[in-house]
Amino acid sequence: MTTNSMVKLMLQKKGDFCSGEELSRELRISRTAVWKQIKTLREKGYLIEAAPRRGYRLVGLPDRLYPEIFTVGLNTSLLKGPYYHFMKVDSTNRALRQLAEEGKPQGTIVIAEEQLQGRGRLGRSWHSPPGKGIWISVLLKPPLAPENSACLTLLAGVTVQKTIQEVTGLETGIKWPNDILYSGDKLCGILTEIKAEMEALHYLIVGIGLNVNQGKSDFPPELAKSSSLKIITGQKQDRHQLTTALLQNMDNLYRLFLQEGFGAIREMWKGKNITLGQKITVHRQGAASFSATALDIDGKGRLKIVTEEGREDTITAGEVSLNPE
């Protein structure tokens, strides 16, 4: 905790010196303990300059998604942590499920620099190299019937689309249910997992994988249709800033959803979607794929389609690909 407070205090100084005496007074620790904390922070990758009689100043942040950095300036009312940061984890969704089972509250967040067994939709894996993306899972406990949980999947897509637009200026599109694409290349995938009984949703885990700073060679050949914000903008992006904006936007939209229902989120989703009105192929696990036209999203976040034979249907799970014109 002292480490977090020390980073926050030094960040508030915006690069100015902070004397050892001030740090010791503000954090209520001895001068020796201040020195130990500075050493710990340097080991975590913080660049801290020390000058006789002037004290310490923070001159560089590590490119690691430490919560004490991305929570500065965050003003959330529902997604308030606790935050768990891992250098390596099998899957942030899996780690968060364990924490949820231990009774952790709504707003608990797991973030990792690298996932060794990142999970994708429909049983696929998710490529999650160290330090290149945002691999994050958020625990939500909305008072909803399980059949409405797809609304939150769509909410997560709107969150990411909006975050990318705000931070980088890029206009991306959402493919149902929540893939974020730019010029046909995938930038982000979202895996929502729920624990529910027939009538009751216990909790929902929203896992977001956003490709941020990969270069072309960081993607294996089978991910030729994937891209990153760095590849598209030509610039390395600030993962801290993106994470802060992502959590702030998710908190704002989730609050709106709880207060007013799915209506406004549905309209936002429709405003940024690239699926409706398109000819698509529907893929479902363990079933044959078929062609259809995407018509609309219903009040539960499901996709309304019409098949080539003219039969109308609604799909809840699965994935669609956009057919070439």
State the residues that interact with ligand BTN by CB under 6 A: 91-93, 115, 118-121, 124, 126, 128, 135-137, 179, 189-191, 207-209
CB of 118 to ligand BTN, least distance (A): 4
Q: Are 274 and 173 in contact (CB under 8 A)?
A: yes
Q: Where are the alpha helices (DSSP H) in 51-186?
A: 67-70, 92-101, 150-168
- Closer of 35 and 86 to ligand BTN (Cβ): 86
- Closer of 113 and 251 to ligand BTN (Cβ): 113
Within 10 angstroms of residue 233's Cβ, the number of other Cβ atoms is 15
DSSP structure class, residue 284? -
Task: Specify the amino acid at residue 49.
Answer: E
| Sheet of 312-315, strands arranged across | 312-315, 303-307, 290-297, 279-283, 319-322
CB of 205 to ligand BTN, least distance (A): 8
C-alpha 120/C-alpha 189 separation (Å) is 7
Cα pseudo-dihedral 269, 271, 275, 276, rounded to 10: 110
- Closer of 55 and 119 to ligand BTN (Cβ): 119
- Closer of 191 and 245 to ligand BTN (Cβ): 191
Whose structure tokens read 């059949």?
A: 147
CB of 135 to ligand BTN, least distance (A): 4
Structure tokens at 112: 């990792």
- Closer of 55 and 157 to ligand BTN (Cβ): 157
- Closer of 50 and 224 to ligand BTN (Cβ): 224
CB of 210 to ligand BTN, least distance (A): 8
Return the residue nearest ligand BTN (CB atom). Answer: 189
CB of 193 to ligand BTN, least distance (A): 9
CB of 117 to ligand BTN, least distance (A): 7
Q: Are 117 and 93 in contact (CB under 8 A)?
A: no
* Cα 110 from chain centre: 10
